[in-house]
Amino acid sequence: MTRPNPIDGALVGQVRELLARREDRSLPQGYVRPAPTVTMQADGDAAGAELLLYDEIGFWGIWAVDVAAALSTVSGPLHVKINSPGGDVFDGIAIFNMLADYPDQVTVTVDSLAASAASFIAMAGDTIRMNRASQMMIHDASGGCRGHAADMRAMAGLLDQLSATIAGIYAARAGGTPEEWRERMLVDGGFGTWYTAEEAVEAGLADELVPLPIAEPEPVDSGQAAARAAAALFPYGADDAGRWRLAALAAPDDQASAPEPPRFTDAASPQAPAEPTPEPTPAPPTAAVEPEPAVEPDPDPWAVSIAHLLEPPTPEGVLASLRRAVL
């Protein structure tokens, strides 16, 4: 997408006149005006130079004259990185024009915030990128005035003119009409519209998102993966020796099935007197009863475990065990 045309010369003349008046004012005592950071890459580096606009635009932050001085020291492709709440509209217009007129490729990356004047400065890029979690905000021009009614009316007319000009910058870059963008600037009583990085790209205010860094997956060794799976399924080994080690470490599940240990008595110890055996009472005659069918005793759990351990594992058996464990 091409950059928008520079602003008309009449408005630029008004900007320069107002900037000249402002520069006659002195900063508060002890205040040092920040300067934009510019980094020039090595000769022949395709990355070119990098310009950081990491402050307010205008009197309390980065002035247009500072950007002009920085750009006079660089050449080749230019990467402008923005993190700014905006500020003075006239300094912003001047910076926008300097970047729009820059003789080489200009890439703009919104690192965090491009609001107010910083948002239309960003429109000067040949390519506009929104960094991760960054945002952009556009709104109507605002200002203060002290004087008579005629002064107030003149200020209102100037603000309308500036807002219409800024809306034209958005329309030239993102498409649509200046009137449509002015409506978005007037949302919420003139406080404007906020765009997430994705919304800015969707609206045409930016061209692309900076992608998230994705680590390349490490190659998987199929042999090592199979060995880890076998170790998880058979921690004591799948051979006979491993199954015997597991059998030696396991304990019987049913202690009641263990035989009772023999009892030993001392021959010299006194024996309790035997109780008299009662005489059997003859049972009354009963009808013949058919014998109940023999019931097979429950298998010994310990014997079942040992037999299972001695059987060589089969793929079908392992899969059946895994299905039972999952279900």
More confident site: 260 or 184: 184
More confident site: 43 or 285: 285
pLDDT at 121 over 90: yes
Q: What is the pLDDT of residue 42?
A: 44
More confident site: 171 or 73: 171
Strands (E), 74-192: 78-84, 106-115, 127-130, 135-138
pLDDT at 167 over 50: yes
Q: What is the pLDDT of residue 36?
A: 74
CA distances 64 to 30, 73, 124, 168, 284, Å, are 22, 15, 14, 21, 125
pLDDT digits (tens, 9 = 90+) for 24-65: 566 556 555 666 777 765 444 445 799 999 999 998 899 999
Q: Which of 62-66, 93-97, 206-210, 281-285 has the lowest mean pLDDT?
A: 281-285
Q: Which of 108-112, 140-144, 160-164, 249-253 has the lowest mean pLDDT?
A: 249-253
- 112 catalytic, yes or no? no
Q: How many angstroms separate the CA atoms of 182 and 230, rounded?
A: 68
- What length does the chain have? 327
User: Which residue in this structure is represented by tokens 């005659």?
Assistant: 285
Q: What is the pLDDT of residue 95?
A: 97
Q: What is the pTM of this model?
A: 0.58
7 pLDDT band, cuts 50/70/90, is: low
223-239 CB burial, b ≥16 within 10 A, e <16: eeeeeeeeeeeeebeee
Q: What is the pLDDT of residue 245?
A: 58
- Can you read off the two tokens belonging to residue 77? 């492709």
Q: 84, 119, 134, 139: which one is catalytic?
A: 139
Q: 116, 119, 134, 163: which one is catalytic?
A: 116
For residues 51 and 70, is the Cβ–Cβ distance under 8 A?
yes
Q: What is the pLDDT of residue 60?
A: 84
Please name which of 73, 64, 130 lies closest in space to residue 99, comparing C-alpha atoms.
64
For residues 110 and 120, is the Cβ–Cβ distance under 8 A?
no
User: Which residue in this structure is represented by tokens 């580096």?
Assistant: 45
pLDDT at 244 over 90: no
Please name which of 91, 102, 101 lies closest in space to residue 63, comparing C-alpha atoms.
91
For residues 94 and 125, is the Cβ–Cβ distance under 8 A?
no
Q: How many angstroms separate the CA atoms of 85 and 57, rounded?
A: 8
User: Which residue in this structure is represented by tokens 């030239």?
Assistant: 172
By 3-state DSSP, what share of the chain in percent is helix, strand and coil, each rounded to 5?
A: 40, 15, 45
Looking at this protein, which amino acid is placed at residue 50?
A: E
Give the up-direction half-sphere exposure of residue 212: CA atoms within 13 A in the CB hemisphere. 5
Average pLDDT (309-319) is: 69
- 116 catalytic, yes or no? yes
